[in-house]
Amino acid sequence: MRTLTKDTPNKIGEQVTLMGWVNVRRDHGKLIFIDLRDRWGIIQVVFNPKNKELLALADKLRPEWVVRIEGIVKERPSGMQNSELPTGNIEIEAAKLEILAEAKTPPFDIASDGHEIGEDNRLKYRYLDLRRPRLLKNLSARDKIISFMRDYLHKKDFIEIETPILTKSTPEGARDYVVPSRLHAGSFYALPQSPQQYKQLLMVAGVERYFQIARCFRDEDTRGDRQPEFTQLDLEMSFAEEEEILGLTEELYIGIVETLYPDKKISQKPFPRISYKDAMEKYGTDKPDLRKNKDDKNELAFAFIVDFPMFEWKKTDPSTSSGQGKGRWDAVHHPFTKIKNSREEISEKNAEKLSALQYDFVLNGYEIGGGSIREHDPEILEKVFEIMGNKKEDIRRQFGHLLEAFKYGVPPHGGIAPGIDRLVMILEGEPNIREVIAFPKTGDGRDLMMNSPSELLAGQLKELHIKIEKQKEK
Ligand code: ASP
């Protein structure tokens, strides 16, 4: 049976078998020491010169070789303890060594925190970069936060439901990633920008309380803290008003901080609710940093920004179908958001004045989530799409399923979708979200380890009915 490094301090005098990586090897004349590393930590192993064969084998060891070591857990001689390691009072006196895998010299230092190493290299050899204790800790913190969310929501009777990845475009303001269909030549799936329409359809289905740790895909231009794919805690509730959704979110986030990050201080509870207008007037942004002391690593200033305008004027984007002319009204959040104004007031000429039941969730100057109460009257929803410049037949083609579903007894509903990546980044004090994602992409959307995106084989293209137009040489 294997013993983990973290369990060795309780096994003084016992024979143990350890497995892991050689962190460092030190030659001290006749003795050889190695620091053996597993996911839980490091322990010192000593090879005694009495066993010549064993010593000769230990002499071959190099950093990152994978080994199996049998030996006795011993207290270290006095004066040789290392108070910085949890296993610093003990060491393993090796009796047997088996080399399970050799390793090439790694392209960079694995023992450091890694901030000093060029990111391209770290991403190319991500499986080595992840051996760094800092990154393993980030992955584990992420897992704990997600588990907490799941437990909390299950206790509140939410059901976690998976929604499709191969789907149809959801208009949430970004470009879609598309997937060609082999069976339906010339047709495409889109990867979801979020499960927005599915979660609303689950409300029609009577699920009432849904959540999902959902992957979202948005083909946007490079911006510092964005990834082509990212993770959200996506949730939706029927018969709930704004205050119930914000209250639930607040309780969940206070729970996460107080349980998993007890050293951190939340600046204000309940979280302040600031109107969009006040935020813009007072702070000049809709994601204000409300920390009292911005140098304090442990301060968390959560807030909800509420009362957003429904529409904003968007200059022409020639790549969209509605991109002709000088511009159009676009939804500030998304078209499914409920407008506060009366039915009679909802028209294109009033677009600028219409106010939405939308809320954003901010933390320390970052937008960490957003949501809204949804418009569940299919006629008003159709009107919203029209104000946004869509033709009647396009609305039916793109959203017919939703408008139809809303004719079969739709409960009033609303939801929110806080991002996981930014939250973990802030709680772990990391400078960007790539540090808390196992396999992130570069700023220009490449996976340097898998070398993706990449070209397809001619046969694959043919099967997918795709012809590539060669880019003209410049
Ligand atoms: N789907 C929205 C988003 O991803 C959030 C929501 O309205 O629930 O921003």
For residues 407 and 382, what is the distance between their CA atoms, to the nearest angstrom?
13
Query: For residue 136, what are the CA distances in angstroms to 2, 129, 298, 388, 450?
Result: 21, 9, 21, 45, 20
Q: Which of 262, 260, 271 is nearest to 147 (CA)?
A: 260
Choosing from 170, 176, 191, 194 the residue with most ligand 1 atoms within 8 A of its CB, the one to mutate for a pocket test is: 194
Question: Does the pLDDT of residue 314 top 60, yes or no?
Answer: yes
What percent of the chain is predicted at pLDDT more than 90? 87
How do residues 349-399 score in pLDDT, each as one tens digit?
999 999 999 999 999 999 999 999 999 999 999 999 999 999 999 898 889
Q: Is 44 close to ligand 1, i.e. is its CB under 6 Å away?
A: no
26: exposed, middle or buried (C-beta count within 10 Å: 0-12, 13-18, 19+)?
exposed
CB 381, CB 422: distance < 8 Å: no
Given ligand 1 and candidates 163, 172, 376, which is best to mutate, with the most ligand atoms within 8 Å of its CB?
172
Residue 321 has pLDDT above 70, yes or no: no
The type of residue at 191 is: L
Smallest CA separation from ligand 1 atom 9, residue: 370
If one counts every other C-beta atom within 10 angstroms of the C-beta of residue 215, the result is 16
Give the Å distances, CA to CA, from 243 to 55, 239, 416, 448: 68, 12, 12, 44
Which residues in 3-131 belong to E strands, given as ranges? 15-28, 31-38, 41-47, 66-75, 90-101
Which protein residue has the closest C-alpha to ligand 1 atom 4? 194
User: Which atom, in ligand 1's list, is nearest to the CA of 199?
Assistant: 8
Ligand 1 atom having least distance to the Cα of 358: 7
Q: C-alpha angle 462/464/468, rounded to 5°?
A: 65
Count the helix, strand and coil residues of the chain and give each as a percent rounded to the nearest 5. 30, 30, 45
pLDDT digits (tens, 9 = 90+) for 115-159: 999 999 999 999 999 999 999 999 999 999 999 999 999 999 999
- Ligand 1 centre to CA of 333 (Å) is 8
pLDDT at 324 (0 to 100): 53
Give the DSSP letter string of 252-279: HHHHHHHHH-TT-EESSSSPPEEEHHHH
pLDDT in tens, 161-198: 999 999 987 666 789 999 999 999 999 999 999 999 99
Assess whether the C-beta atom of 358 lies below 6 angstroms from ligand 1.
no
**pLDDT surpasses 60 at 323:** no
Ligand 1 atom 7, closest CA: 371
The whole-number pLDDT of residue 470 equals 81
> What 8-state DSSP symbol labels residue 193?
S
Question: 235 C-alpha to center of ligand 1: Å?
Answer: 9
- Residue range 247-266: average pLDDT? 98
- Give the distance (Å) from ligand 1 centre to CA of residue 360: 10
Q: Is the beta carbon of 371 within 6 A of some atom in ligand 1?
A: yes
Q: Which of 238, 333, 361, 376 to mutate to test the pocket of ligand 1 (most atoms within 8 A of CB)?
A: 333
Give 249's pLDDT tier (boundaries 50, 70, 90): very high
- How far apart, in whole angstroms, are the C-alpha atoms of residue 231 and residue 218? 11
User: What is the rounded radius of gyration, in angstroms, for the C-alpha atoms of the chain?
Assistant: 28
- Tokens encoding 38: 């597993």
For the CA of 369, the nearest atom of ligand 1: 9
Alpha helices by DSSP H, listed for 293-415, are: 378-387, 392-405
Tell me: the pLDDT tens digits for 46-96?
999 999 999 999 999 999 999 999 999 999 989 989 999 999 999 999 999
Structure tokens at 199: 């979660």
Q: Residue 322 pLDDT > 60, yes or no?
A: no
Q: Is 452 exposed, middle or buried (0-12, 13-18, 19+ CB in 10 A)?
A: exposed
Residue 243 has pLDDT above 70, yes or no: yes
What is residue 319's predicted lDDT score, i.e. its pLDDT?
A: 58
| C-alpha count within 13 angstroms, C-beta hemisphere, residue 261 | 22
Confidence of residue 221 (pLDDT cuts 50, 70, 90): confident
Decide: 163 in ligand 1 pocket, CB within 6 A.
no
Provide the terminal-to-terminal Cα distance of the chain, rounded to the nearest Å: 63
Average the pLDDT over 411-430 and give the result: 98
DSSP assignment of 195-251: SHHHHHHHHHTT--EEEEEEEEE-B----TT--SEEEEEEEEEES--HHHHHHHHHH
CA–CA gap between residue 104 and residue 85 (Å, rounded): 27
**Phi then psi dihedrals of residue 180, to 5 deg:** -70, 145
Ligand 1 centre and the CA of 294: distance in Å?
29
Q: Which residue has the tokens 């003209």?
A: 472
Q: Could you identify the atom of ligand 1 that is nearest to the CA of residue 196?
A: 1
Question: What is the four-CA torsion angle of 266, 270, 276, 282, rounded to 10 degrees?
Answer: -60
Backbone angles phi, psi at 105, to 5 degrees: -65, 125
Dist. CA 210–CA 238, nearest whole Å: 9
Give me the phi and psi of 417, to 5 degrees please. -145, 85
Mean local confidence (pLDDT), 334-347: 95
Is the shortest distance between the CB of 416 and ligand 1 below 6 Å? Answer: yes
How far apart, in Å, are the Cα atoms of 370 and each of 120, 221, 338, 346? 32, 21, 14, 23
Contact of 316 with 389, CB cutoff 8 Å: no
Give yes or no for residue 196 CB within 6 A of ligand 1: yes
> Could you give all domains of the chain from N- to C-terminal order, each with its CATH number?
5-101 (2.40.50.140), 126-436 (3.30.930.10)
CA of 417 to the centre of ligand 1 (A): 5
Does the beta carbon of 5 sit less than 6 angstroms from any atom of ligand 1? Answer: no
Task: Please identify, by atom number, the ligand 1 atom nearest to the C-alpha of residue 374.
Answer: 7
Helix, strand, or coil here: 388?
Answer: coil
Does 417 sit in the ligand 1 pocket, CB within 6 Å?
yes
Other beta carbons less than 10 A from residue 446's beta carbon: 16
E-strand spans in 10-51?
15-28, 31-38, 41-47
How high is the pLDDT of residue 21?
98
Q: How far is the CA of 407 from the centre of ligand 1 (A)?
A: 23
Length of the chain measured in residues: 474
Query: What pLDDT is stored for residue 407 in this prediction?
Result: 96
Using a 6 Å cutoff on CB, does residue 415 contact ligand 1? yes
What percent of the chain has pLDDT above 70? 96
For the stretch 425-453, pLDDT in tens is: 999 999 999 999 999 999 889 999 999 99
Q: Of 228, 230, 226, 231, which is closest to residue 213 (Cα–Cα)?
A: 231
**Does any ligand 1 atom lie closer than 6 A to the CB of residue 337?**
no
CA of 265 to the centre of ligand 1 (A): 28
What ligand 1 atom has the least distance to the C-alpha of 415? 8
pLDDT for the residue numbered 380: 96
* CA of 249 relative to ligand 1 center, distance in Å: 14
Q: What is the pLDDT of residue 317?
A: 61
Is 25:77 a contact under the CB 8 Å cutoff? no
